[in-house]
Chains A and B, each alone.
Chain A
Amino acid sequence: MNYKGRTILTAVVMAAVFSGLGVRLVFLHLKPKKSTLSRIEKGRYLKVKTRGARGRILDRNGNIFATDLAARHLYVDQKFLFEAGDIHRTCAAVSKTLGLSWEETWTLLDGTKRYVSIRKYVHEKKIEALMEGDHKGLIFERAAMRSYPKGALSAHVIGFAYNSGVGGSGVELTMNSHLQGNAGLRIGKKDSRGRELYNYRTVDIEPESGADVYLTIDQMVQYFTEKALDELVENYQPEGAWAIVQDVRTGEILAMASWPTYNPSRFGRTLEEWMRNRTIHYTYEPGSTMKAMIIAAALDRGAIGPQDVFDCENGRWVYGGKALHDSHGEGLLTVADILKKSSNIGAAKIALRMGDEKVYQSLRDFGFGSRTGVNLPGEEGGILWSPKRWSKISITRLAMGHEINVTSLQMLSALSAIANDGVRMRPLMIRRVVDSSGDTVLESFPEETGRPIRPETARVMRRLLARVTQPGGTGTKAAVRGYLVAGKTGTAQKVNLEEGGYFRNKYIASFAGFLPVENPAISIMVVADNPQGAHYGGTVCAPAFRSIADQTVRYLRISPEGLPTEYVSDLETDPFKK
């Protein structure tokens, strides 16, 4: 073929190619196929779902206990890194930032997969330098992580949330529906580099942050309580210890602590046992603290009077073929002294005077055998069998706090009823819930749940219980200088669940009380599981009670008459002389 022929052929081929392209373009523009169109649209389609920040958890004074923080997931695009980046420099920077050894990071970058996850949920502040370091191939994906700035303080109440933004325990779980925000949605188009084309944004729903949950907890009272528990643990090495502080008039929980404790930020590395909120998850036989309720019920029903005398059989009494013992043998004791000296025999005889049905009904009225309704997950209801299942001696054992299982919150709630003129209040943990626009969506108010005893009986009981912390009582170590404290000690042998019966040398020690006696403001319960070296509630738990009470009354400005000091003018130095 000559030159001219070749030129013509080339021209024809070129013309054919360009004509073909032209025709294709015309068809694409004028009458494109549906499949082609959808492929193009799919490539340009942009749909971004954004998670609203999880709400915060705050104490009654607005101190933040849980909040969401900005974090990043760190990935490596190995192809890009090897082709365009400086692998040695990047590897060194990543190791330094994340605290990994150079070898560890180097091993991760093995080149087998294009994308490798280096670490997820890294605090943005920590990774800031790496982000600004112009490391080619590093990808920083936005994420949110839960932060607990108070650490282990109030861990069992707050609980924890998973990284997916769902509550796992505590308030994080019960209030999950409020804490979770509403997800945002953005639909539009993107360019070839994946950048959003703002003009093509068709749907733009802003994510809505979750609501803030305000607790009834006070971080200072919580701190006093946890500190007192730490001291108790140091002195007596129990298997567990827990305490609650409650506002008597409103039922609000001011502090709730449990040991062993954990840091919610590291819940994944915590033993399940440590995450157990023993104040509501652990049921036990309360021992002598139950005598306060039995005697209150007997007084209220007119079965006994405060000055009635009972024969306490010098410490040993056989009833129903079984012997009942007192730790200190006593002869004749008044009802007041039975409570002060915590006589098992005296309490058993008082219960017998009431009869099975009345004892059962009274304990029910005090809230035993059913959940208190506190806004925390997994609350136990305890065990209180009906009289049909009782043996002959059951009533005598119930009077001293055996054959009944309670949680410490139930026990405190019952004692608070005595302190609150016979009115039982629902324990409150959530004060209010405020949404992201500042509107209150939920508010808790004090709620009465029953009146197990009359106000007159409550008044008498308060004075009887005050004698427990006076010289000669079992709870003298709970006395707070300048205040009259009412309370009751409890020491119960632990139930042996494997072999039946009771352990000979394992005890649950407790002290429950309130102050000031004449106008109670706060009630406190301290429990220790199997303390070492001593096992009486008056020895193990009463000092912790005093430590909490002593600091709390001064912090909350509770005067010896039980009123905030700003209301008080000419208080006598000793209000109990009245």
Chain B
Amino acid sequence: MKKKQRKRSRKAEVRIPFPRLLANVLVFVAVFGLSYVWLCARCDMLGREIKCLEADQQAARIRLFNEEDRWSNLKTPSNIQRALERHKLAMSFPGSRRIIRVCRNGLTARSVALAAIQ
């Protein structure tokens, strides 16, 4: 009786190998699933990063426009004039008597001008 039982249990202990195909499929599915999750997370992260950068770019653009506007306003001739007056600076273009015209290689004015234009 005991012998019989031992035989049966030995039979029962026979291990059936896990199907390789199924294992491969499971591994593939697991890898695929994990990759998908990882890609999703990565995309989410990149998305957030892009949104941050978009916001930064927008803020930088706004700042640039503001500064350009301010600089342009400062460069307005009337503002420059006011600034000069505030600092008690009197500036004007030189009068014709204060302009010295220098001779260039002994050429006449007209010939130099014509040569330059041509």
Which A residues are closer than 8 A to B by beta carbons? 53, 63-65, 67-70, 124-125, 147, 149-151, 153, 196, 198-199, 219-220, 223, 481-483, 551, 554-555, 559-561, 563, 565-571
Contacts and interface: CB of A to CB of B under 8 A. Distances in A.
20 contacts: A63-B72, A64-B69, A64-B72, A67-B68, A67-B69, A69-B69, A149-B70, A151-B73, A151-B76, A151-B78, A198-B51, A219-B77, A223-B78, A483-B96, A554-B94, A563-B109, A565-B99, A567-B112, A569-B105, A570-B103
Chain B, interface size category, equals 35 or more
B95 A199 contact: no
Contacts of B72: 63-65, 67, 149-150
B72 to A, nearest CB: 4
Nearest to B114: A567
Interface in B35-90: 40, 43-44, 47-48, 50-51, 62, 65-66, 68-70, 72-73, 75-78
A23 B94 CA distance: 94
A196 B55 CA distance: 13
Nearest to A68: B65
B62 A124 contact: yes
Contacts of A68: 65
B77 A223 contact: yes
Give me the 6 closest cross-chain CB pairs, A-B, nearest first.
A482-B96, A198-B47, A554-B93, A223-B77, A149-B73, A569-B104
A567 B65 contact: no
Given A63-B75, A149-B76, A554-B93, A568 B113 contact: yes
Nearest to B105: A569
Contacts of A571: 101, 109
A147 B75 CA distance: 15
Contacts of A554: 93-94
B14 interface: no
A481 B105 CA distance: 28
A24 to B, nearest CB: 29
B24 interface: no
Given A150-B72, A153-B76, A220-B77, A569 B47 contact: no
Nearest to B103: A570
A70 B76 contact: no
B101 A555 contact: no
B107 interface: yes
B9 interface: no
A220 to B, nearest CB: 6
Contacts of A220: 77
Contact of B101 (A63, A151, A569): A569
B113 A561 contact: yes
A567 B113 contact: yes
Contacts of A70: 62, 65-66
A568 B77 CA distance: 29
A566 B101 CA distance: 9
A497 B31 CA distance: 91
A566 B115 CA distance: 12
Given A64-B69, A149-B70, A559 B101 contact: yes
Contacts of A569: 101-105, 107-109, 112
A61 to B, nearest CB: 10
A53 B47 CA distance: 25
Contacts of B73: 149-151
B97 interface: yes
B116 interface: yes
Contacts of A559: 101, 109
Given A219-B77, A554-B93, A561-B109, A570 B50 contact: no
